[in-house]
């Protein structure tokens, strides 16, 4: 019995590799979904929000991805990677759609909300500069390194990253190290620039 419970919980762990489990088994499907949602939703919003540089869009896309997961009726092998893949497809669609241009107008509003929490004018200026630099460096990175960096920062496992980005799991660590070096190097260059 214990081993069965352990297997059940492992499905929803970050390293879940087990076969799909029907949402109708044992616990109610909604309970399983809520558990998965609570575990995956914040980091998916952050990942897409950082990637799109638009947290409102990130939130919309994350919601849509979870709606699709619910309507799917069963939990995929690696739910984290599945959600990331679906969300990235949705982001690609949103970027190509006209509404994307409209949504970009809301970015500044989100930035203002974020900046309002700064403790002092000096800190706010420094924070704003750093933010702009980070944003610029991230934007300039190659797409794969960009995503690698952001997925790792959200704690996605090597397997989830490999599945989401379609790379060999055995080389994920090396790719992450390369992306981090690239990011740090460009960031430092930007901070010393006149």
Partner 1 sequence: MHLDEEQIQRVVHRELTLSERATADEHLTHCAECQSRTVAAAKCDVETSELLRYLDAPLPSVSADAIIARAHVRRFTWVQKFAATFFVVSIGGVAWAASGSPIRLFLNSFAERLRGSASAPVNSPGAAPSVVAPVPELSGISYQPGQRVIINFTQFQPRGVALVSISGGTEVVVRAEAGAATFSSSGDTLTINNTTTLAHFEIEVPRSVARLDILVAGTRLYNRTGTRATAPDSALVRDTSTLSLARPDRSSP
**Positions in the binding site for partner 1 (CB under 8 A):** 30, 33-34, 37-38, 41-42, 45-46, 49-50, 53, 55-56, 59, 62-63, 66-67, 70-71, 110-111, 113-114, 127, 130-131, 134-135, 138, 149-150, 152-153, 157-158, 170-174, 176-177, 180-181, 183-184, 187
Q: Which is nearer to partner 1, 3 or 117 (CB)?
A: 117
CA end-to-end span of the chain, whole Å?
65
Q: Which is nearer to partner 1, 8 or 53 (CB)?
A: 53
Q: Which is nearer to partner 1, 71 or 96 (CB)?
A: 71
Overall size of the chain counted in residues:
194
Written as one string, the DSSP assignment of 150-163 is: HHHHTT--HHHHHH
d(CA 15, CA 125): 41
Q: How far is CA 7 from CA 91, 158, 159, in A?
A: 33, 20, 18
Buried/exposed code over 84-108 (b: 16+ C-beta within 10 A; e: otherwise): bbbbbebbeebeeeeeeeebeeeee
Q: Which is nearer to partner 1, 1 or 170 (CB)?
A: 170
d(CA 139, CA 187): 12
The angle subtended at Cα 134 by Cα 166 and Cα 142, nearest 5°, is: 30
Minimum distance from residue 70 beta carbon to partner 1 (Å): 4
d(CA 181, CA 125): 26
Q: Which is nearer to partner 1, 1 or 99 (CB)?
A: 99
Q: Which is nearer to partner 1, 1 or 154 (CB)?
A: 154
Minimum distance from residue 154 beta carbon to partner 1 (Å): 9
């Amino acid at each position: 019995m214990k081993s069965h419970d352990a297997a059940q919980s492992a499905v929803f762990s970050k390293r879940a590799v087990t076969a799909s489990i029907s949402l109708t088994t044992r616990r109610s499907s909604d309970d399983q979904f809520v558990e998965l949602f609570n575990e995956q939703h914040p980091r998916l919003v952050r990942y897409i929000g950082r990637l799109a540089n638009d947290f409102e869009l990130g939130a919309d896309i994350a919601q849509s991805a979870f709606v699709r997961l619910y309507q799917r009726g069963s939990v995929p092998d690696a739910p984290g990677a599945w959600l990331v893949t679906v969300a990235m497809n949705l982001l690609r669609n949103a970027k190509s759609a006209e509404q994307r241009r409209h949504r970009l107008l809301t970015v500044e509003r989100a930035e203002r909300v974020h900046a309002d929490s700064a403790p002092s004018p000096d800190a706010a200026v420094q924070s704003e500069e750093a933010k702009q630099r980070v944003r610029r460096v991230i934007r300039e990175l190659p797409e794969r390194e960009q995503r690698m960096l952001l997925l790792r920062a959200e704690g996605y496992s090597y397997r989830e990253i490999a599945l989401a980005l379609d790379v060999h799991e055995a080389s994920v660590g090396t790719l992450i190290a390369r992306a981090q070096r690239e990011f740090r190097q460009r960031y430092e260059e930007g901070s010393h620039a006149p």
